[in-house]
Every structure is written in structure tokens, then in C-alpha cells.
């Protein structure tokens, strides 16, 4: 039985690692129109009750998963920033006090944006919480992750470039049925910046209500994209990321970052690093210095899975945004190889693409080989910019498909990464197939740290112990 499993794994591995030409999917979707859902649609409905909390969302609040940040907006007056919470519905033994802020964007005045920090939570526990008062009070729940542990199993969803169209809705609904526990979001949230003047703020609010059915119940790990920059000098708005920074708090201080735009967390058996494409990252900048230090905090004995999120993909063979990730590649790729990053998720390109394990670190400006080469120590690069925003699909891939590209398809969807234990994770890309969710691109992600190298190192370090281990596993077979 096990032998059979090993054998099929081996066959599977050979299939994905033999450097065969990649696949360009011929699937052509019949698209919903790439237009935003009208504001009066029920997906944007304002909750009942005077000054009722809306746009509720949570994210991890600390480094290890024992804290949550709850955020919401009250439209009419500040109201309470308090969160009441506990282990059963309606029985709230704990209270946390938060704070609120507000901002203007041209003539738009935001509601009161609340932020409340729930700390000292137990791992692997369902908490119920309540915000707002009287008739306007609202109740939600969330589950904390298992304790940070090398074999903790956990399922992440990956969504990018979501927006607020009918395609976005399809992605969100499919995601919510996936069973995943937390979203790794790779940037470009609301696409509110496609509007002008007062409406920019309005579409941030509608997006907050749109995603609430998921974001109020499970943490979304946020990252920014170009649509969060909102540099709009024509209306006097020139503070980068203003709306985003007011609305989407991140636990950046817990990882000693000095900016909410880049940070890292540990969750279950994963160490997740969030990088900001649109913040300075070249040598000596704050983000570069922070990342250099943060890699030292990664402990693969505790968190075997090392995952990096960024907005612009480093390996992309779509005509759209081709080579835009080259600047970040030249700065960070060598570190990604050195630290054995397992997988890098990006968005930006409105299509799906997965790379083979490849690297291009031998190239430098005076000599070296300027081509990506197969590299078993390199990450897998996955682009999931296919959430379904109003800009539509990036339909044209470069031809022929480059050697580094394993699978690509121009349609909408989301991914899931089911981490099983320290060595195995099951990955799926799920296409929105006109109302159905279809698993299209699936593979077993083998951990780079706990793979063969580790076994070898271990046996060199302790031959006797590994002999015993081998005996044990032989007798199992
Ligand atoms: C924030 O809210 C207060 C109280 O309603 C109001 O006086 C102030 O003008 C608002 N500030 C901004 C920046 O909108
Ligand atoms: C952050 O810095 C403090 C003080 O130097 C240190 O104790 C802590 O371990 C650091 N945390 C991380 C996640 O780097
Ligand atoms: C550039 O590449 C050449 C050939 O691989 C190598 O000898 C040289 O050390 C590299 N220079 C730098 C600065 O990396
Ligand atoms: C890890 O999970 C994979 C997939 O479920 C399984 O085949 C493998 O035996 C597990 N490894 C250990 C050490 O439990
Ligand atoms: Fe983008």
C-alpha cells in the first residue's frame, strides 16, 4: 500500500520535474461582463439598525496566531470600539477595548473605522464575538489556528486582484465553499481607484461589505497592489496607500517591521512573508533590511513551510505585465533560493500561471547565464491574479510558452494550499467555471527543507538514529 503510494508519488514527481514543455490551457470561458456590481445589489447591503457595524474583517494580530485584529466601520457616529467575545454564542466573558479613526478623500468623508486587538487567545479554538450595541449589535465567530508546530495541518486559500464584479462574487463564493481557513491575499482589493472623486471612498465601503461574509469569520492576510497606491494628484490626493492604510490594519510590529506594508506571521506550520512591490526594496532600504533580518527568524524546525506573498510576479509569461517583476527578482531571488522558500504567490496578471522550480541567479550585468534554469532548490512561482475584477482577463500569453512555465490559463479562480504535515502539501487551482468550481491544476508540493537534503543531513549527523528509523519504516512497508 505505502509502497504503491511511494511509487505513484515517484511517477508523479518524474512527470512534473522532467522539464517537459508546460501546458497552455485551451479553455476559453464565456465571461460574465467585467463590470462592477451596481451599488444597490444585495451583496453590498448595509446591515439593519442605526449605526450598525459594517465591513467587518479580521486578520492575525500577532506573530504566532494567538491574537486577532477585528476592524469595522460605523457610518453615523463613532459608537463603541469594544469587542465582546467568548467561547460560546451569546456568552461573552471577555471584552477588549479598541479605538477608531476617520479620514477624508477629496470630498468623501469615511465612517468611523474601528480597530480592536484581541490578545492571549487559545490555539485551535472557536471564539464568538459581538460588536455594536442594542438593536444594531452584530455577532460573528472565528477559529484560531493550531499552535505553531511542524506537523500542524492547515489549509490556506489564495486570492488576488478581486474587485467587486459578478466574477469576483463567483470567486468569493467558491472560495467560501473550499474549506480553507484563512486567505493569503496577494494585493489589489477593491479597485475603487477606477472611480473618481467622491466615489473612490464609496467603492471601498461597498467592497468591505461585499467580502464581509468571509472576512468577518476568518483572517485574511493582507497585501497591497498597484490599485492600493491611489496617487491621484488631480484631486489633491497624493498620500500613497491612504485608504488601504486606514482600513486594513496588519500586525507588522510583531515581526519588527516599521511599515504595515511588509511584515510576516507564523500560522500553524507556515511562516508567511508579505512583501510590498510598491515600496522601496533595493539594497539598504527599510524593506530590504527588514527582510534580511526576518529570514534569520525563520525556523524550519518549527514552521517547515516558507511562503512569500508579493503583488507583481517574478516569473510571468503573460503579455500583460511581462517582466515587471524583474527589479524585485534581481534584488531578492538569490535570498529566496538561499533560504529555500517553498512557494511564492503573486497576483497582478489577471490570469493563472504556475512555474517549475527554476532560478536565474547566475546572471549578472557583466557575465553569467541570463536564462532561468531548472533548480530543485528554487521556489514554485504561482500567479493568482484571477479574482475577477472589472479590468477583465489578461488573455494573451507569450508564444511559445517559455520553459519555466508549467501551466497557464486565462480565466478566473482561486487556489488552495492544504498543508498536511512537514513534508507534504496539496495544492489546487480552482477555476470559476460558469458557476461551478472545477479543480484544474493540482500537484503535491514537497517541502524544500524537509525533503531529501534534510534526510541526508540528518543521517550524516546521526547515522545510528537514522538506521533505526529506516528499520522502522522498512518494517512498516
Ligand atoms: C472625524 O470625525 C470627527 C467627529 O465626527 C469630525 O469632527 C472630524 O472632522 C472627522 N475627521 C475627518 C478627517 O474626517
Ligand atoms: C523584535 O525585536 C525584539 C527586540 O529586539 C526582539 O526581542 C524580538 O524577538 C523581535 N521579534 C521578531 C519577530 O523579530
Ligand atoms: C558575475 O558572474 C561571473 C560569472 O558567473 C562571476 O564570476 C562573477 O563573480 C559575478 N560577479 C558578481 C558581482 O556577482
Ligand atoms: C505527510 O502527509 C502525506 C500526505 O498525506 C503522507 O503521504 C505522508 O505519509 C505524511 N508524512 C508523515 C511523516 O506523516
Ligand atoms: Fe495589480
Could you report the per-residue pLDDT of 404-440, keeping only the tens digit for each? 999 999 999 999 999 999 999 999 999 997 777 889 9
Could you report the per-residue pLDDT of 173-199, keeping only the tens digit for each? 999 999 999 999 999 999 999 999 999
Cα dihedral 218, 224, 226, 230 sign: positive
**Candidates 271, 321, 350, 428; catalytic one:** 321
Of residues 40, 43, 312, the one with CA closest to residue 172: 43
Pick the ligand that lies closest to the CA of residue 362: 3
Does residue 423 line the site of ligand 4, with CB under 6 A?
A: yes
Hey, how many other C-beta atoms are within 10 angstroms of the C-beta on 196?
11
Could you report the per-residue pLDDT of 269-293, keeping only the tens digit for each? 999 999 999 999 999 999 999 999 9
H-helix or E-strand spanning residue 176 = helix 166-176
Atom nearest to 256 CA in ligand 2: 1
The rounded percent of the chain whose pLDDT value lies above 90 is 85
User: What 3 state SS string does 110-160 have?
Assistant: CCEEEEEEECCCCCCCEEEEEECCHHHCEEEEEECCCCCCCCCCEEEEEEC
Q: Give the predicted TM-score (pTM) of the model.
A: 0.91
What is the distance between the alpha carbons of residues 278 and 230, in angstroms, rounded to a whole number? 12
Q: Ligand 1: which of 73, 75, 99, 102 to mutate, most ligand atoms within 8 Å of CB?
A: 102
Residues with CB under 6 A from ligand 2: 63, 255-256, 297
Active site residue 114: no
Q: Ligand 2: which of 65, 255, 256, 257 to mutate, most ligand atoms within 8 Å of CB?
A: 256
Asked if omega into 22 is within 30° of 0 (cis), the reply is no
Could you report the per-residue pLDDT of 32-57, keeping only the tens digit for each? 678 999 999 999 999 999 999 999 99
Domain range summary for the chain, segments of one domain joined by + = 2-51+151-446
What is the distance between the alpha carbons of residues 428 and 430, in angstroms, rounded to a whole number? 6
Pick the ligand that lies closest to the CA of residue 446: 4
Eight-class DSSP state of 42: G
Among the four given CATH numbers 3.40.190.10, 3.40.50.20, 3.10.20.600, 3.60.21.10, the one describing domain 2-51+151-446: 3.60.21.10
Residues with CB under 6 A from ligand 1: 102-104, 109
Pick the ligand that lies closest to the CA of residue 325: 5
Residue 323 Cα, ligand 3 centroid: separation in angstroms?
Answer: 22
Q: Give the confidence band of 31 by pLDDT, cuts at 50, 70, 90.
A: low
Residue 362 Cα, ligand 3 centroid: separation in angstroms?
Answer: 7
Q: Give the confidence band of 455 by pLDDT, cuts at 50, 70, 90.
A: low
Q: Give the confidence band of 456 by pLDDT, cuts at 50, 70, 90.
A: low
Amino acid at each position: 500500500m505505502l509502497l504503491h503510494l511511494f511509487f505513484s508519488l515517484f511517477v508523479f514527481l518524474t512527470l512534473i520535474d522532467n522539464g517537459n514543455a508546460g501546458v497552455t490551457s485551451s479553455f476559453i470561458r464565456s465571461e460574465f461582463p467585467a463590470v462592477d456590481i451596481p451599488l444597490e445589489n444585495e451583496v453590498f447591503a448595509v446591515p439593519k439598525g442605526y449605526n450598525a457595524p459594517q465591513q467587518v474583517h479580521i486578520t492575525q494580530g500577532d506573530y504566532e496566531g494567538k491574537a486577532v485584529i477585528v476592524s469595522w466601520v460605523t457610518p453615523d457616529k463613532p459608537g463603541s470600539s469594544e469587542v465582546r467575545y467568548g467561547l460560546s454564542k451569546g456568552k461573552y466573558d471577555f471584552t477588549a477595548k479598541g479605538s477608531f479613526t476617520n479620514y477624508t478623500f477629496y470630498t468623501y468623508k469615511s465612517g468611523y473605522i474601528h480597530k480592536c486587538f484581541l490578545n492571549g487567545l487559545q490555539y485551535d479554538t472557536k471564539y464568538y464575538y459581538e460588536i455594536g450595541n442594542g438593536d444594531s449589535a452584530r455577532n460573528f465567530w472565528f477559529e484560531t489556528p493550531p499552535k505553531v508546530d511542524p506537523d500542524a495541518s492547515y489549509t490556506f486559500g489564495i486570492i488576488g486582484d478581486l474587485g467587486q464584479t459578478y466574477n469576483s462574487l463567483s470567486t468569493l463564493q467558491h472560495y467560501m465553499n473550499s474549506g480553507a481557513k484563512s486567505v493569503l491575499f496577494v494585493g489589489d482589493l477593491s479597485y475603487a481607484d477606477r472611480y473618481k472623486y467622491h466615489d473612490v471612498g464609496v467603492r471601498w465601503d461597498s467592497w468591505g461589505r461585499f467580502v464581509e461574509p468571509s472576512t468577518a469569520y476568518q483572517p485574511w492576510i493582507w497585501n497591497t497592489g498597484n490599485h492600493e497606491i491611489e496617487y491621484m494628484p488631480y484631486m489633491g490626493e497624493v498620500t500613497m496607500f491612504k485608504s488601504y492604510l486606514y482600513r486594513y490594519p496588519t500586525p507588522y510590529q510583531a515581526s519588527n517591521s516599521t511599515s504595515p506594508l511588509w511584515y510576516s506571521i507564523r500560522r500553524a506550520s507556515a511562516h508567511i512573508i508579505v512583501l510590498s512591490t510598491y515600496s522601496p526594496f533595493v539594497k539598504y532600504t527599510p524593506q530590504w533590511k527588514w527582510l534580511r533580518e526576518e529570514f534569520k527568524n525563520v525556523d524550519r524546525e518549527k514552521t517547515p513551510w516558507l511562503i512569500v506573498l508579493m503583488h507583481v510576479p517574478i516569473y510571468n509569461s503573460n503579455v500583460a505585465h511581462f517582466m515587471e517583476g524583474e527589479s524585485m527578482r534581481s534584488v531578492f531571488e538569490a535570498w529566496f533560493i538561499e533560504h529555500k522558500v517553498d512557494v511564492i504567490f503573486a497576483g497582478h496578471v489577471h490570469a493563472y500561471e504556475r512555474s517549475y522550480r527554476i532560478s536565474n541567479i547566475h546572471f549578472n550585468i557583466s557575465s553569467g547565464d541570463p536564462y532561468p534554469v531548472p533548480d530543485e532548490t528554487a521556489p514554485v512561482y504561482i500567479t493568482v491574479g484571477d479574482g475577477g475584477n472589472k479590468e477583465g482577463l489578461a488573455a494573451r500569453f507569450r508564444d511559445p510558452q517559455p520553459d519555466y512555465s508549467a501551466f497557464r490559463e486565462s480565466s478566473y479562480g482561486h487556489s488552495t494550499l492544504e498543508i498536511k504535515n512537514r513534508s507534504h502539501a496539496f495544492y489546487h487551482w480552482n477555476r470559476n467555471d460558469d458557476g461551478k468550481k472545477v479543480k484544474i491544476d493540482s500537484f503535491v508540493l514537497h517541502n524544500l527543507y524537509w525533503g531529501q537534503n534534510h534526510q541526508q543531513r540528518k543521517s550524516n549527523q546521526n547515522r545510528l538514529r537514522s538506521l533505526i528509523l529506516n528499520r522502522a519504516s522498512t518494517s512498516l512497508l
